[in-house]
Amino acid sequence: MNRICELFSIRYPIIQGGMVWCSGWRLASAVSEAGGLGLLGAGSMHPETLRDHIHKTRLATIKPFGVNVPLLYPEMDTIMQIIADEKVPIVFTSAGSPAKWTGWMKERGIIVAHVVSGSHFAVKCEQAGVDAIVAEGFEAGGHNGRDETTTMALIPAVRKATSLPLIAAGGIASGRSIAAAMALGAEGVQIGSLFAVSEESSAHPGFKQLITSLKEGDTKLALKKLAPVRLIKNKFFEKIDEAEQSGASKEELSLILGKGRARKGIFEGDLDEGELEIGQVSAMIDKIEPVSTIIDRLVTEYNETIGKLSPL
Amino acid sequence: MNRICELFSIRYPIIQGGMVWCSGWRLASAVSEAGGLGLLGAGSMHPETLRDHIHKTRLATIKPFGVNVPLLYPEMDTIMQIIADEKVPIVFTSAGSPAKWTGWMKERGIIVAHVVSGSHFAVKCEQAGVDAIVAEGFEAGGHNGRDETTTMALIPAVRKATSLPLIAAGGIASGRSIAAAMALGAEGVQIGSLFAVSEESSAHPGFKQLITSLKEGDTKLALKKLAPVRLIKNKFFEKIDEAEQSGASKEELSLILGKGRARKGIFEGDLDEGELEIGQVSAMIDKIEPVSTIIDRLVTEYNETIGKLSPL
């Protein structure tokens, strides 16, 4: 029995990343309905919007779902109270220390996973009592670790550092890459980009369309002096990149960045001035499809892939 | 039958990267003797030194071996003439266009592989008539592509772009990661860091020892304005990094870099002032072992890993 399937009571160990501006109730419920684990992305929701999406997810599916909570969110007490009041069964936390909220959530019967970018953070997760770890590599979209460790190098290191159920993230968009993640020592995968482009994603159609046209090298990790984030190389990125190349300070970069650019790009479709977060695997995504088609293909490809591996 | 084993007449589809200052006749012959493919690293040899190492490799093993040739090397005509005169059966080219020398080598019966960092380069390799492609990800040590595509994202893209035999490189140092590379669509692997630290590597013992102590995040891609290279974060790296952070120009970086730093670090063991090239997987390498032990373990681990993958 797969420990990730067992822990979350799901059919396939495929988790949909709780991405800002993409992961509302439509996406999360579609993934859970198709046998994976759907996550609402609290990082781009006001607390009452989150409550509304929890209700709508429950109306759309009776299967388990979760919420992704970036722990640096300003209204954390309110968010956590809503999650507890609404009896959300599963929470994925990221962007912060697992020490502060894990115990509080565990007391309330919530299953907790935490996202890390290095094995030393995985050890802290284990100490904090989390139930599962997501280890996310450098190729992932959006916010990203400072060590730049790739999924290939990261998963075996985290596997060695902890015995907890382990979910791989970053660079995964096919059955082949799920098989690779499993070979590296993961027991499940978290997939972002591929679901960001799905029909049920709440991202702007122009953002999805742009992603289907990207090639290798069309994303890059930017804003390393602030918080590293992988972005599409659009006009806004070029502005940031030029400033970084010429040695801009944290403060200067903050000024160029301003506020609300992820919303502007991903949700409102301003492809020039928005912050367009997506992973390197966007180069392999060439169509917008329904979640159920995506998950069926992933499972079929995975089974075909492992069937073809032969001993040396 | 595995196409890489067939092409090179080897037992295991494991190729040892032809690394500067590490890959002399001792390492190459040990890898070939153990059933993989050993490569001499011409990038750090004077032409007559290369000829000497070819002779010594032939005395140490009757099995196939090859030479890695970075095509930006100044004395390329001399190097290629030596390779042809000495009837070297296999050449891996890198750092340059495959168009110039592939035809010349093929006319002389040499099997040619070329190293790429993106699928558009793989297409050029196919047009140039190479026999196999090495696709190397961002996590690899030493010189590296500008697109920063990781092995996880790169291999499926190259697999899609070409039908040629495909070797994965970057982030591979265990049977688990060989299995991952195969799942992604590769048919063989090129391993650098792990062999750089082997007993038979010609690297300085101090360099090898340092690598066994590294952790995740202890290497970083530097000198992006010149030619991107992954280095250990030593004193020299810090100097370069500080200059890059404050917007240093190409010319200023060239001045700090100077000449001969890879030799100084890797071969002479100056761990402060040398250019210490190694991959991210160095974090997983904790001992110096003979090549035969390494290859035996890789094969055993690979077979165990694929035996444990179960269908979804």
Residues within 8 A of B (CB atoms), A 132-171 only = 137-139, 146-154, 156-157, 159-160, 170-171
pLDDT of res. B1? 83
| Spatial strand order in the sheet of A219-222 | A142-143, A229-232, A219-222
Whether the CB-CB separation of A90 and A35 falls below 8 Å is answered with no
The structure tokens 């388990």 sit at A64
CATH number of A3-202+285-304: 3.20.20.70
Query: For chain A, what is the mean pLDDT?
Result: 97
ipTM score: 0.97
Residue range A245-257: average pLDDT? 95
Whether the CB-CB separation of B159 and B166 falls below 8 Å is answered with yes
Q: Assign residue B185 a region: left if phi > 0, alpha if psi is -120 to 50, beta otherwise? A: left
Closest CA to B143 of B75, B84, B73, B90: B73
Give me the total of CB pairs closer than 8 Å, taking one residue from chain A and one from chain B.
175
pLDDT of res. A74? 86
Residues B161-179 pLDDT 10s: 999 999 999 999 999 999 9
Chain A residue with minimum CA distance to B168:
A152
**DSSP bridge partners of A135:** A116, A168
Q: Assign residue A21 a region: left if phi > 0, alpha if psi is -120 to 50, beta otherwise? A: left
Cα(A8)–Cα(A38) distance, integer angstroms? 11
pTM for this one?
Answer: 0.97
Cα(A309)–Cα(A175) distance, integer angstroms? 13
Counting residues of chain A whose pLDDT is more than 70, the rounded percentage is 100
Contacts of B152 in chain A (CB under 8 A): 137, 139, 150-152, 170-172, 177, 180, 281
Q: State the DSSP H helix or E strand holding residue B203, giving kind and residue range, or none if neither.
A: none
Residues within 8 A of A (CB atoms), B 187-226 only = 215-217, 220-221, 225
Q: What CA dihedral angle connects B266, B272, B277 and B282, to 10 degrees?
A: 100
Range B3-202+285-307 classified under CATH 3.20.20.70 = yes
- In tens digits, what is the pLDDT along chain B, a chain of 312 residues? 899 999 999 999 999 999 999 999 999 999 999 999 999 999 999 999 999 999 999 999 999 999 999 999 889 999 999 999 999 999 999 999 999 999 999 999 999 999 999 999 999 999 999 999 999 999 999 999 999 999 999 999 999 999 999 999 999 999 999 999 999 999 999 999 999 999 999 999 999 999 999 999 999 999 999 999 999 999 999 999 999 999 999 999 999 999 999 999 999 999 999 999 999 999 999 999 999 999 999 999 999 999 999 999
Query: For chain B, what is the mean pLDDT?
Result: 97
Q: Does residue A3 carry a pLDDT above 90?
A: yes
Q: How many helices (H) and strands (E) does chain A have?
A: 14, 11
Mutate to test the interface with A, among B159, B216, B281, B309 (most CBs of A within 10 A): B216
Cα(B34)–Cα(B53) distance, integer angstroms? 18
Residues B65-109 pLDDT 10s: 999 999 998 899 999 999 999 999 999 999 999 999 999 999 999
Which among A174, A217, A302 has the least Cβ separation from residue B156?
A174
Burial class (CB in 10 A: 0-12, 13-18, 19+), B58: middle
Chain B residue with minimum CA distance to A280:
B153
Q: Burial code of B209-233, b = ≥16 C-beta within 10 A, e = fewer?
A: ebbeebebbbbbbbbebeebbbbbb
Sequence-distant (6+) residues with CB within 8 A of B297 are B175
Cα(A249)–Cα(A240) distance, integer angstroms? 11
Inspect the interface and report whether the beta carbons of B176 and A185 lie closer than 8 Å: yes
Cα(B169)–Cα(B78) distance, integer angstroms? 28
Domain limits, chain A? 3-202+285-304, 205-281
Instruction: Give yes or no for B118 touching A (CB within 8 A).
Output: yes
Taking the CA of residue B150 and the nearest CA in chain A, the distance in Å comes to 6
Taking the CA of residue A218 and the nearest CA in chain B, the distance in Å comes to 8
Closest CA to B140 of B15, B35, B244, B278: B278
Token pair, residue A21, equals: 């501006």
